[in-house]
């Protein structure tokens, strides 16, 4: 349903909004056009962002029974970064391709922490659709 086709009361009532629009959560990688970053998250929960470097942020679950439960990460400044490592950001790109090229160009400690999370917890076929950003309002 497009926002233009609903009325204001539907949007004000959270239960109605969730009923109509909330999809089942699945681990996801996507491009955030507002902050020019790739976000990868494997659990829908409240998170704390831990800044590893100007390029990487790790997401830690706030209310997990497990201490330091990492549930995702962010690659920041992605358009600059992808230009530098030769990745076309106009279509669909596999997450592991981005990680692989960044590891080769920036083999520092923060990148290795992200790579470790990808290897242990992320679907290797996960993709990022950069064109989706231009379709979103």
Interface positions with other proteins (CB under 8 A): 1-4, 6, 8, 11-15, 17-26, 28, 30, 32-36, 41, 44-51, 54-55, 62-63, 76-77, 79-81, 136-137
Cβ of residue 100: shortest distance to other proteins, in angstroms? 20
Q: In this complex, which beta carbon is closest to other proteins, that of residue 17 or of residue 119?
A: 17
Q: In this complex, which beta carbon is closest to other proteins, that of residue 7 or of residue 120?
A: 7
Cβ of residue 103: shortest distance to other proteins, in angstroms? 19
Q: Please, which residues have CB within 8 angstroms of residue 105's CB and are 6 or more apart in sequence?
A: 84, 85
Q: In this complex, which beta carbon is closest to other proteins, that of residue 80 or of residue 119?
A: 80
Cα Rg of the chain, angstroms: 17
Cβ of residue 93: shortest distance to other proteins, in angstroms? 16
For 13-35, what is the HEC assignment?
CHHHHHHHHCCCCCCEEEEECCC
Q: In this complex, which beta carbon is closest to other proteins, that of residue 70 or of residue 119?
A: 70
31-51: buried (b, 16+ CB within 10 Å) or exposed (e) per residue? beeeebbbbbbbeebebeeee
Q: How many whole angstroms separate alpha carbon 70 and alpha carbon 54?
A: 19
């Amino acid at each position: 349903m497009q926002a233009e086709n609903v009325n204001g009361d539907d949007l004000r009532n959270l239960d109605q909004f969730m009923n109509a629009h909330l999809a089942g959560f699945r681990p996801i990688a996507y491009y955030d056009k507002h902050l020019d970053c790739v976000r990868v998250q494997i659990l829908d929960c409240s998170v704390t962002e831990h800044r590893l470097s100007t390029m990487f942020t790790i997401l830690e679950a706030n209310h997990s029974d497990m201490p330091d439960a990492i549930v995702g990460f962010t690659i920041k400044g992605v358009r600059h970064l992808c230009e530098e490592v030769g990745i076309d950001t106009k279509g669909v790109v596999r997450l592991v391709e981005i990680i692989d090229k960044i590891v080769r160009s920036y083999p520092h400690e923060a990148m290795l922490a992200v790579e470790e999370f990808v290897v242990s917890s992320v679907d290797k076929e996960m993709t990022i659709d950069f064109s989706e950003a231009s379709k979103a309002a």
